[in-house]
Structure 1
Amino acid sequence: MLSRPELHGTRGAVASTHWLASAAGMAALDRGGNAFDAAAAAAFVIQVVEPHLNGPAGDVPILVYDAAAERVSVICGQGPMPEAATPAEFRRRGLDAVPGSGLLAACVPGAFGAWLRLLRDHGRLRVEDVLEPAIGYAEDGYPLLPKAAAMIGVLAPLFRDEWAESGRTYLRQGRAPAPGTRVRNPALAATFRRVVAEARAAGRDRERQADAAVSAFYEGFVAETIDRFMAAGEYADSTGRRNGGLLTGKDMADWRPGTEEPVALDYRGLRVHKAGPWSQGPVFLQQLALLEGFDLAAAGFGSADHLHTVVESAKLAFADREAWYGDPNHADVPLAALLDRGYAERRRGLIGPEASAVLRPGSPDGREPWIPPLPDPAVPGGPDWAAQLDSGIPTVVARTAAQGDTCCVSASDRDGNMVVATPSGGWLKSSPVVPGLGFPLGTRGQMAWLAEGHNNSLAPGKRPRTTLSPSLVLRDGRPYLAFGTPGGDQQDQWTLHFLVNHVDFGMGPQAAVEATAFHTDHAPASFTPHRSRPRSVVVEEGFEPGVLAELRRRGHEVDVVTAGTLGRVCATGVTADGGVVAAASPRGEQAYAVAR
């Protein structure tokens, strides 16, 4: 029995990881906007109301199906590393890895520009229309989520003693606000208001206004403020020391979000699209290529064969991620070979009856794989916040079953437009709030290697490989589903299960979202300190005891976690009769879907 209904409508649908964002997206549709306007409005609200998970200076890949053009494209909101970011510079500072917090890991902020690119190229509304709800919540207040309150509580000593602007923004009389407290961010509201004013000053043309807003952020007052902030001082980070940053105003002025062709693969009659190997997106497709050779439907949902097969396929695909993925503008990624059906067939032969404990990347085109050795994780000392900064994930460590969290926005409309994105980065735990702007910078650079010669090695102007990974699916060349989830490295496991639940096990979108979830932590985490747990299978309560016993007999190390704690899949789509559908996970009690 579903805990929430599957929503159907005829006008538009929005699903996101916060109910206020979903409502803002639907309001954009009511104002005459399309799915792209709705997604942008929702995303800017999420930057305000989920500050522990994302912000304007974060990162986002956006998958777009434009019905008028009848094509899928990717807007890359992953900014590159600064020109001063070299392995030698980090080693000069005595580091063998990019820190997971502070200023050193900051890339060029990508999220703001990417959402404005979506609005400019595909939307109907103006910048001020789309930013209005976010400005309202920043000025008038929003209810603080329990996870945000927990993070602020743990980090309160850091905010008081080291990151003073974060304290001024989020502490109340030196203390963390309680969950549900109405909190405001007047500095962020003022930043957005000034962006709107500069957009208006560019004239009445909607596209020109969007360009002016981007210029204000990347060349104007935002970039100037960030440049002064980075040059002015040093701040405590996960190294246990104070470090300054490398990002400059020139790095920001030299970058603009680009559009790219997606990577795609056919699976049981569907065409599945992902961002390129600068994301972990192709790992989703590699898993599908492996699973295509198994009869999951015959195995049955929740059987030992089902879980074993999916987990072992994930291990192989993620091993290839570790060996081969990186920014294709700077590295020779053998993507066509990795997605080749023959390659998948050879790799499928490695899946045996027992759990593998080895990370086994393949040799596409006969190339020899290489994964740099993991740095030895230091044991952080000092206050509790030091241990929190040592982990680059945007959650309070040891207080959640899911290792990693972020946000998701999906929208579809009656014209057949679909869009989905997983905004993240620039969260409260990442780095200090920039004075005068109301938001911190991101730390995506932590995902690049300092070891040289790898496709994901750090280099100036190069995008670090990100975990962010939305999915967009066509059926018979027509729009079908757009979905994503929070979850760091687990995104392309939990969303894979959603699609397999729907396609192989015949579940509707809402049932596929709510089905009992699982994942493996076999591959090294993308976030510092890059830990891995070979043979691990993390399962929610709800699978049969006999199934778990069989998995253990096959060599899996099974951890059972509380039901409803793994993932928060959000999905919208277009039905065969021209309607729209929406589904949102009840996990976390904050993701909501709206359809009209």
Structure 2
Amino acid sequence: MFTTRPEISGTFGVVASTHWIVSQVAMGMLERGGNAFDAAVAGGFTLCVVEPHLCGPAGEVPILFHDAANGSVQVLCGQGVAPAAATIAAFRGEGLDMVPGSGLIAAVVPGAFDAWMMLLRDHGTMDLAEVMAPAIGYALNGHPLLAGASRAIADVADALLTEWPSGAGIWLPGGAPPPPGALFRNPVLAATWQRLIAEAGTTGTRAARIDRARRAWSQGFVAEAIDAFARTPLMDASGERHPGLLTGEDMARWSAGYEAPVKTDFAGWTVCKTDSWGQGPVLLQALAILDAAGIASVDLGGPDFVHLVLEALKLAFADREAYYGDPAFVDVPMAALLSPGYAAARAALIDAQASHAIRPGIIAGFEDQVRRGMAQIRVATSEAAGIGIGEPTMMHLKSTLKPGDTVHIDVIDRWGNMVTATPSGGWPQSSPTVPGLGFALNTRAQMFWLEPDLPGSLAPGKRPRTTLTPTLALNGGRPALVCGTPGGDQQDQWQLVLLLRRILGDMKLQQALDMPLFHSLHVPSSFYPREALPGVAVIEENYGADILADLTRRGHDLREAPAWSAGRLTVAERSADGVLHAAATPRLMQAYAVGR
């Protein structure tokens, strides 16, 4: 099959990311003798610079990785928790029935910086200054600004000037949004990172130096600046001004942490995801349902495939709404949700016509919880919010609602180490920029519900249920593949299609990425204003008129998307013989895979 790009292959190392500069930066670390962990950290910080409208150091990042030295597959959770003052009563006392999608009040503890530091300290080999040098260089000397970043800044230019002026000097150089392709700098961010490196010092072990940088972030000048700024009442998506709830004490108490992945077996592969503080188990549930529904015998290029996948996703996402939450706070019946018997019962609900009902499964002992969760579902009266990609909301006022996106990176080195990460949050168009630091806070608290006794109900110290969801898969027990994509609620949907094409169709990676994509908008969005579009599915028009007509006859409420417009998937794989492969989607003409 013709593909838009060659599939990258080699034996030394491969990188795939959502920005070509980042892929080259990470590859550069491998060329200098670093491993996949060094490369991923360098790439992660560079993403904050060259895709500043999609991620930042005060955002969050889930990381899945395989460490070849000890054979482990682990999750590194870089998702910060709700501040101590973030209670349902506190928000209700402000007259809010939903956490706003923007502003200081929606911030949780920043998680990305500490997660990258722990990955470097525990699994990398290089010094902090060395892996951060490319990101600092691009922040100081500039990079050609992406068209998407230019548009995102222009969308909130008035708000930056009138309501969030702390960022105007950075994001509006000369008083106006920078044009696409213009050389763009953020010397304030570069200075923050240079100070962190300086405070890490040059004495002691590499690990000790990294830990000193972590303390400077969570207990030093960074935390102090965030604490002071968060006390300022500033405009948010509610149309009112609110201060933040995040404090320096919240930052000092928290750190990133390791945990075991949740996993399921499918067609000889084992797929690993984060636990239910993320939406990752949705993909695992969908695989189990599709296995029970006989997906292995379906033509991967035909309408039956699209229909089955959409219907399985509706069922899996309904369970997400009913059951998923931070397992440190709520009882999530994950073993039952992933059991073969439960999957078979769910698969039996799929018939020839598209369902327009949101149907979570009922697990004994959880009946009241499911009922309460379903009572919160809001059906959209407009598609303005639902059709978008849907990462933390890019908006300043209700009248300027715009969905956002995020970023992704995959790395495999010559030793077989593998890293896959989906950083997000901390955007200048979601939250005001912290003076003197050059970056904004995150808005992940918008994922919480302000109704009590739900899995996703707000509570101090609790992780919001995010959509950030990288994937690591083993083939016959051998760590083999890493992949991911930006895209909010669509992340696991697009990755599911990629995995099915790779596993069942034995497709080459680039071929699997280049084929048309689709996704469902059936269940509530994870983002403000959290509405559902029952029965609605988005599908790229290059599936062809016959397949689109067939799906419409089955009752799918289709929205045709332009060809090459859905998803920003990247993927890397290590074959049994040690050959490495990588591919990146041509969509948006931005993601790139490199390697040798």
Contact 1:24 1:42 in 2 (8 A): yes
User: SS at the partner of 1:40?
Assistant: helix
Q: What is the letter of the counterpart of residue 8 of structure 2?
A: L
Q: Deviations over 1:212-244 (max 9, x none)?
A: 11111111110011011112x111110111110
Deviation, structure 1 residue 395: 8.6
Contact 1:412 1:574 in 2 (8 A): yes
Q: Deviations over 1:446-491 (max 9, x none)?
A: 0010000011100000001000000001112222100000000000
Deviation, structure 1 residue 204: 4.1
User: SS at the partner of 2:214?
Assistant: helix
Q: Does residue 1:277 correspond to 2:276, yes or no?
A: yes
Contact 1:15 1:572 in 2 (8 A): yes
Q: For residues 357 and 184 of structure 1, do their structure 2 counterparts lie closer, same or farther at Cα, with a shift above 3 Å needed?
A: same
Q: What is the letter of the counterpart of residue 255 of structure 1?
A: W
Deviation, structure 1 residue 551: 1.0
Deviation, structure 1 residue 15: 0.6
Hey, what does 2:341 align to over in structure 1?
Answer: 342
Deviation, structure 1 residue 580: 1.3
Deviation, structure 1 residue 571: 1.1
Q: Hey, what's the Cα distance between the residues in 1 that align with 2:147 and 2:393?
A: 17
Q: Deviations over 1:34-78 (max 9, x none)?
A: 011111100100011111111000011000101111110000000
Q: Does residue 1:53 correspond to 2:69, yes or no?
A: no
Contact 2:378 2:532 in 1 (8 A): no
Q: For residues 483 and 197 of structure 1, do their structure 2 counterparts lie closer, same or farther at Cα, with a shift above 3 Å needed?
A: same
Hey, what does 1:586 align to over in structure 2?
Answer: 586
Q: Hey, what's the Cα distance between the residues in 2 that align with 1:303 and 1:226?
A: 52
User: SS at the partner of 1:319?
Assistant: helix
Q: For residues 168 and 133 of structure 1, do their structure 2 counterparts lie closer, same or farther at Cα, with a shift above 3 Å needed?
A: same
Q: What is the letter of the counterpart of residue 480 of structure 1?
A: A
Q: For residues 432 and 403 of structure 1, do their structure 2 counterparts lie closer, same or farther at Cα, with a shift above 3 Å needed?
A: closer
Q: What is the letter of the counterpart of residue 448 of structure 2?
A: A
Hey, what does 2:473 align to over in structure 1?
Answer: 473
Deviation, structure 1 residue 588: 0.9
Deviation, structure 1 residue 579: 2.1
Hey, what does 2:33 align to over in structure 1?
Answer: 32
Q: Once the two structures are aligned, what percentage of the paired residues are identical?
A: 51
Contact 2:18 2:570 in 1 (8 A): yes
Hey, what does 1:247 align to over in structure 2?
Answer: 246
Deviation, structure 1 residue 372: 5.4
Q: What is the letter of the counterpart of residue 211 of structure 2?
A: D
Q: What pairs up with 1:511-522 in 2 under 5 angstroms?
A: 511-522=511-522
Q: What is the letter of the counterpart of residue 268 of structure 1?
A: A
Q: Hey, what's the Cα distance between the residues in 2 that align with 1:221 and 1:492?
A: 37
Q: What is the letter of the counterpart of residue 325 of structure 2?
A: G
Q: What is the letter of the counterpart of residue 333 of structure 1?
A: V
Q: Hey, what's the Cα distance between the residues in 2 that align with 1:152 and 1:303?
A: 41
User: SS at the partner of 2:77?
Assistant: strand
Q: Deviations over 1:96-151 (max 9, x none)?
A: 00000001110000000001111011111111111100000000001111111111
Q: Does residue 1:87 correspond to 2:101, yes or no?
A: no
Q: What is the letter of the counterpart of residue 227 of structure 2?
A: D
Hey, what does 1:257 align to over in structure 2?
Answer: 256
Q: Hey, what's the Cα distance between the residues in 2 that align with 1:60 and 1:483?
A: 14
Q: What is the letter of the counterpart of residue 468 of structure 2?
A: L
Q: What is the letter of the counterpart of residue 75 of structure 1?
A: L
Q: What is the letter of the counterpart of residue 461 of structure 1?
A: G
Q: For residues 35 and 396 of structure 1, do their structure 2 counterparts lie closer, same or farther at Cα, with a shift above 3 Å needed?
A: farther
Hey, what does 2:126 align to over in structure 1?
Answer: 125
Q: Does residue 1:182 correspond to 2:144, yes or no?
A: no
Deviation, structure 1 residue 529: 0.5
Q: Hey, what's the Cα distance between the residues in 2 that align with 1:377 and 1:519?
A: 18
Unpaired stretches in structure 2, ≥5 consecutive residues? none
Q: Hey, what's the Cα distance between the residues in 1 that align with 2:90 and 2:403?
A: 30
Larger deviation, residues 369-378 vs 84-93: 369-378
Hey, what does 1:216 align to over in structure 2?
Answer: 216
Contact 1:110 1:257 in 2 (8 A): yes
Hey, what does 1:537 align to over in structure 2?
Answer: 537
Q: For residues 474 and 595 of structure 1, do their structure 2 counterparts lie closer, same or farther at Cα, with a shift above 3 Å needed?
A: same
Hey, what does 1:546 align to over in structure 2?
Answer: 546
Q: Deviations over 1:227-268 (max 9, x none)?
A: 11112x111110111110100000000001010000010110
Contact 2:239 2:397 in 1 (8 A): no
Q: What is the letter of the counterpart of residue 483 of structure 1?
A: C
Deviation, structure 1 residue 506: 2.2
Q: Hey, what's the Cα distance between the residues in 1 that align with 2:95 and 2:380?
A: 13
Q: For residues 144 and 562 of structure 1, do their structure 2 counterparts lie closer, same or farther at Cα, with a shift above 3 Å needed?
A: same
Contact 1:377 1:529 in 2 (8 A): no
Q: What pairs up with 1:487-498 in 2 under 5 angstroms?
A: 487-498=487-498
Q: Deviations over 1:415-460 (max 9, x none)?
A: 1110101000111221000000000000000001000001110000
Q: Hey, what's the Cα distance between the residues in 1 that align with 2:397 and 2:15?
A: 31
User: SS at the partner of 1:53?
Assistant: coil
Q: Does residue 1:167 correspond to 2:171, yes or no?
A: no
Q: Hey, what's the Cα distance between the residues in 2 that align with 1:378 and 1:496?
A: 26
Q: What is the letter of the counterpart of residue 431 of structure 1?
A: S
Hey, what does 1:308 align to over in structure 2?
Answer: 307
Q: Hey, what's the Cα distance between the residues in 2 that align with 1:376 and 1:321?
A: 15
Deviation, structure 1 residue 293: 2.1
Q: Hey, what's the Cα distance between the residues in 2 that align with 1:298 and 1:164?
A: 58
User: SS at the partner of 1:41?
Assistant: helix
Q: Hey, what's the Cα distance between the residues in 1 that align with 2:579 and 2:570?
A: 18
Deviation, structure 1 residue 364: 2.5
Q: What is the letter of the counterpart of residue 141 of structure 2?
A: D
Hey, what does 2:8 align to over in structure 1?
Answer: 7
Q: What pairs up with 1:283-294 in 2 under 5 angstroms?
A: 283-294=282-293
Q: What is the letter of the counterpart of residue 344 of structure 2?
A: E
Hey, what does 1:137 align to over in structure 2?
Answer: 138
Q: Hey, what's the Cα distance between the residues in 1 that align with 2:69 and 2:378?
A: 52
Unpaired stretches in structure 1, ≥5 consecutive residues? none
Q: What pairs up with 1:65-464 in 2 under 5 angstroms?
A: 65-201=66-202, 203-231=203-231, 233-365=232-364, 367-368=366-367, 369-370=370-371, 371=373, 373-374=375-376, 392-394=392-394, 404-464=404-464
Contact 1:40 1:115 in 2 (8 A): yes
Deviation, structure 1 residue 298: 3.5
Q: Hey, what's the Cα distance between the residues in 1 that align with 2:355 and 2:466?
A: 25
Q: Hey, what's the Cα distance between the residues in 2 that align with 1:217 and 1:320?
A: 37
User: SS at the partner of 1:364?
Assistant: coil
After TM superposition, the score normalised by the length of structure 1 is 0.95
Aligned residues: 584
After TM superposition, the score normalised by the length of structure 2 is 0.95
Contact 2:391 2:488 in 1 (8 A): no
Contact 2:145 2:182 in 1 (8 A): yes
Q: What is the letter of the counterpart of residue 137 of structure 1?
A: Y
Contact 2:421 2:484 in 1 (8 A): yes
Q: What is the letter of the counterpart of residue 68 of structure 2?
A: A
Deviation, structure 1 residue 378: 11
Q: Hey, what's the Cα distance between the residues in 2 that align with 1:429 and 1:374?
A: 28
